[in-house]
Amino acid sequence: MDVNDLNPAPGAASRLWRGLGGLAFGGDYNPEQWPAETRAEDLRLMAEAKVNLVTVGVFAWARVEPVRDAYDFSYFEKVLDDLHAHGITADLATMTASPPPWLVHEHPEILPVTAEGAVLGPGGRQHFCPSSPVYRERAAMLAERLATHFRDHPALGLWHVGNEYGCHIAACYCEVSAAAFRRWLRERYDDVDALNDAWSTDFWSQRYASFDHVRPPALAPTFPNPAQQLDYMRFSDQELRACFEAEASVLRRVTPGVPVTTNFLGGLKSVDVFEWAPGLDVAAVDCYADPHDERPHLAPGLVYDTIRGSRGGEPWILMEQAPSAVNWRARNAVKQPGRMRLWSWQAVAHGADAVMFFQWRQSRGGAEKFHSGMVPHAGADSRVYREIAALGQELASVPGLLGTRVRNQVAILLDWNSWWALELDSHPSAGVRQAERLLDHYGPLHDLGVGVDVVPPSADLGAYALVVAPNLYLLSTEDAERLTSYVAGGGALVVSFFSGIVDQHDRVHLGGYPAPLREVLGVRVEEFCPAAEHETFAVRGCGALEGAEGVADLWREDLQLTGAEPEFVFDSADWAGRPAVTRHEFGAGVARYLSTRLDETGMRAVLGRAVAEAGVRPALQGLPAGVEAAVRSGDGGTFLILLNHTGDKHEVRLDGEWTDALDPADARVSTVALPPAGVAVLRAG
């Protein structure tokens, strides 16, 4: 592989967007599951629904290479011809997400092995060991043949490599993986004593005399070495990325102008999106809101803000969402009327230039036949299809949105290394889970009407008025210094408990927690005091937050103040008056510390004050609770998108001059009436 082939092709993504001419709309298209006649109806319905981009061939390896080397792309050539004839662009998959039966038959060693030592068989999908040279080689060969075959096809607009890397197989524990891990460690540490030092192997007699003696952290009698586990997560992520790169480099060599992407699974822990994203031409994510959630739009919002943050605010692709229900939860809720539209516009409001679904036509057989489709089992005469077609038409009516950007003043920090380390076993509390703790911060900011970029600690923080670091357990000294200088230079920082605790090898920063942030936060902690499962603690605001109330749980710390002032104190009998949340003026900025988990009321009070002090302005003042507003602006104009996440009607008064971008008459609007789950898209001027 030539390393130059790993770099995204400049301008490749813009060619895709220019070709589409407006927001992309479509989904996974799997015509191979259907008789040939169905395609005519598909194409007619796609035209009606204004579909302009479809993902083709994700699980088609066994069809295009039914036995070794017997490549036959004629079926998909016809599909792409038909798509092109209907003005639809293909996001052509490299078809490598599910190895075909012949490959497993000839090379059973490609099958993944669990930490418990079980071999995972074929019959599902993603049944390959990420380190398998055989899998990588056969996948790259297929990508090469495919790219060579389709390089000049006019329908080809985007390459879709693999599918949701890491979704089913985050890591493999086979002997091939073990050998690859040893090679990876040799490269990383060079000297085995450096590894001993990094892994603290004098603990429990784990000192290695040679790299050859190292094994993956498979099932062990008790907690396997945490630093070894952490390195295994890094290694496994990089092995998955190497699978992607093996294919992407072929595509970039054979079709240099065609953009390359892969679809991340939103909220997935095993794949470090921030490390992968620079190697794509455009970021794409799959996100499956759970309509049974109390606030089903929050977790997807966080996913969208992360994917946008992964490429510096560039437009991104919502590659998959469900038209209605999924089939893989224990109880699969449908999207009630209007919700699919609302949540699709939510993605656009968070910067998506493509709204796509899994999948076009609901399967008749196979493991996903009860997963909704844009064309359901009932056919086009159905609520789901009607809502889909209406959404496609609506999105097509606002081409000016294409390429416009969301700009936010607040960043939430997320670091995959810290996530991996935070959730290792043998910790003070098993309750500190990254995804939930992120939402503890994200939800109240959302309620305050404040848009957020989710970025890594290494991002350019100077661009933000407020930076929030939820439970950033692993923090390098350099990143801690960056946070410190950010505050010294006038920034506002909010840090939550169990942050800045360990270095990159999961070794504790000494001298009182959170050692590398003590100076900027003006606090010192000697001991963590995790709460029992249902234990709660009353807290109350003080100083500028006098009168504010809240309830805390999960975690407490006996905070010593070394410069900070309390903003919230505990109000429970045992800890009355001890600081729970603090504020520290440091240099030209302010740093807050939350030593406990506050409920939403408490969080809104603390973050509300931080937001106000930092001069952060919501997109629109005075919005009714549950109504979200977002602004996108750029060459195509300035757009205000209003989303009513509630089941009630609301009225929103606007300042300035706006027209209704969804109204063909371009009506001027000063007040917007939003029905339950309603959406409004307004253009400035």
Member of 42, 65, 91, 164 binding ligand GAL (CB under 6 A): 164
Active site residue 116: no
Burial degree of 220 (CB within 10 A; 0-12, 13-18, 19+): exposed
* Bridging pattern class, strands 549-553 and 536-541: antiparallel
Dist. CA 361–CA 84, nearest whole Å? 19
CB of 163 to ligand GAL, least distance (A): 5
The answer to whether residues 361 and 373 touch, using CB atoms and an 8 Å cutoff, is yes
* Rounded Cα gap, residues 546 and 560, in angstroms: 21
Q: Which of 320, 394, 519, 628 is catalytic?
A: 320
- Considering the complex, what minimum distance in angstroms separates the CB of residue 389 from ligand GAL? 21
The size of the interface with ligand GAL (CB under 6 A), counted in residues, is 12
> How far apart (Å, rounded) are the C-alpha atoms in residues 251 and 234?
26
By beta-carbon proximity to ligand GAL, the closer residue of 329 and 386 is 329
**261 lines the binding site for ligand GAL (CB under 6 A):** no
Question: Per DSSP, what are the bridge partners of residue 156?
Answer: 90
Beta bridge partners of 92: 56, 159
Q: Which of 76, 658 has the CB closer to ligand GAL?
A: 76
Per-residue CA distances from 88 to 44, 82, 95, 219 (Å):
12, 9, 19, 49
Query: Which residue lies nearer to ligand GAL by CB, 322 or 384?
Result: 322
In angstroms, what is the minimal distance from the CB of 282 to ligand GAL?
Answer: 17
Query: Shortest gap between Cβ of 58 and ligand GAL (angstroms)?
Result: 6
Using CA atoms, how far residue 136 sits from 139, 171, 244, 245, 394, in Å, is: 5, 15, 9, 10, 42
Looking at the Cβ atoms of 249 and 263, the one nearer to ligand GAL is 263
Tell me the closest approach of the beta carbon of residue 333 to ligand GAL, in angstroms.
13
User: Using CB atoms, what's the residue nearest to ligand GAL?
Assistant: 358
Q: Which of 288, 360, 420, 593 binds ligand GAL (CB under 6 A)?
A: 288
Spell out the long-range contacts of 181-187 with Cβ–Cβ below 8 A and sequence spacing 24 or more: 181/214, 181/215, 181/216, 181/232, 181/235, 182/211, 182/212, 182/214, 184/235, 184/238, 185/211, 185/214, 185/231, 185/235, 186/211
- 77 is a catalytic site residue: no
Name every residue whose Cβ is closer than 8 Å to that of residue 17 and which is 6 or more positions away in sequence.
Answer: 315, 353, 402, 403
Name the minimum Å distance from CB 127 to ligand GAL.
Answer: 14
Calpha distance 640→682 (Å, rounded): 5
Q: Which residues 483-522 are close enough to bind ligand GAL by CB under 6 A?
A: none
CA distance 539 to 578: 10
| 199-228 positions binding ligand GAL, by CB under 6 A | none
DSSP string, 43-91: HHHHHHTT--EEEE-TT-HHHHSSSTT----HHHHHHHHHHHHTT-EEE
Which is closer to ligand GAL, CB of 27 or CB of 224?
Answer: 27
**Residues with Cβ within 8 Å of residue 271, at least 6 apart in sequence:** 165, 166, 237, 240, 241, 264, 265, 416
Nearer to ligand GAL by Cβ, of 288 and 570: the residue is 288
Which helix (H) or strand (E) segment holds residue 248: the answer is: helix 226-254
The CA R_g of the chain, rounded to the nearest whole Å, is 26
Residue 147 dihedral angles phi and psi, to the nearest 5°: -65, -40
Work out how close the CB of 326 gets to ligand GAL at its nearest, in angstroms, rounded to a whole number.
5
Query: What DSSP line would sit under 356-379, residue for residue?
Result: EES-SB--SSSTTTTS--SB-TT-
Dihedral sign (CA 571, 574, 580, 585): positive
Task: State the CB neighbour count (10 A cutoff) for residue 369.
Answer: 13
**For residue 475, what are its two tokens?**
């923090």
* CB 288, min distance to ligand GAL, A: 6
* Residue closer to ligand GAL (CB basis): 108 or 124: 124
Pairing of strands 650-660, 637-644: unpaired
Q: Could you give the 3-state DSSP secondary structure of residue 258?
A: coil
Q: At what angle do helices 339-349 and 383-396 cross, to 10 degrees?
A: 30
For ligand GAL, the closer CB: 59 or 76: 59
265 vs 640, beta carbon nearer ligand GAL: 265
Which of residues 368 and 481 has its CB atom nearest to ligand GAL in the complex? 368
Contact between 230 and 130 under an 8 Å Cβ cutoff? The reply is no
66 Cβ contact list (under 8 Å, min separation 6):
72, 100, 102
- Kindly state the smallest distance separating residue 250's Cβ from ligand GAL, in Å: 22
673 dihedral zone (left: phi>0; alpha: psi -120 to 50; beta): beta
- What's the rounded Cα separation, in Å, for the pair 166 and 262? 12
Based on CB atoms, which residue is closest to ligand GAL, 200 or 306? 306
Nearer to ligand GAL, 326 or 467 (CB): 326
Residues 530-589 that bind ligand GAL (CB under 6 A): none
Distance between CA atoms of 594 and 276, rounded to whole angstroms? 31
Query: One symbol per residue from 370 to 399: x for binding ligand GAL (CB under 6 A), - otherwise; what is it?
Result: -x----------------------------
163 binds ligand GAL (CB under 6 A): yes
Kindly tell me which residue out of 286, 387, 479, 628 binds ligand GAL, with binding defined by CB under 6 A.
Answer: 286
Name the minimum Å distance from CB 62 to ligand GAL. Answer: 15
CB 143 within 8 A of CB 96: yes
Minimum CB–partner distance for residue 286 and ligand GAL (Å): 5
Stretch of 162-170, 334-342, 396-404, 492-500 contacting ligand GAL, by CB under 6 A? 162-170
Span 318-337, contacts to ligand GAL by CB under 6 A: 320, 322, 326
- Binding residue for ligand GAL, selected from 358, 360, 473, 639, defined by CB under 6 A: 358
Give the residue, chosen from 368, 549, 558, 660, that forms a contact with ligand GAL under the rule CB under 6 A. Answer: 368
Identify which of residues 219 and 367 has a Cβ nearer to ligand GAL in the complex: 367
The residues annotated with a catalytic role in the active site are 164, 320
Would you tell me which residues interact with ligand GAL (CB under 6 A)?
163-164, 167, 265, 286, 288, 320, 322, 326, 358, 368, 371
